[in-house]
Amino acid sequence: MTIVEITGNLATIGYGLAALGPGIGLGIMVAKTQEATARQPEVAGLLRTNMFIALAAIEALGLIGFAAGFVF
């Protein structure tokens, strides 16, 4: 194994670990939004809007982790 192969393997493992955080975060966020909507249906629109804004921020973190695996 060369150093390039080892670095590539570590980058792959690093991206897998970096994807865990956003995945767990999205799951918790959607679950809590659904729970809040069930409790107060009249604010469903506002909750949905806030959920999509947060979804974009969380996905950006996942993409940064993906790009960092290639850069470093």
Looking at residue 43, the DSSP 8-state letter turns out to be G
Average pLDDT in the chain: 82
pLDDT in tens, 17-44: 777 888 888 999 999 999 999 999 999 9
What is the rounded average pLDDT of the residues 56-69?
A: 79
Question: Does residue 15 surpass a pLDDT of 60?
Answer: yes
Rounded CA gap, 22 and 63, in Å? 10
Query: pLDDT: is 53 or 11 the higher one?
Result: 53
pTM (two decimals): 0.70
48 pLDDT above the threshold of 70: yes
Q: H helices of the chain, where?
A: 3-39, 44-71
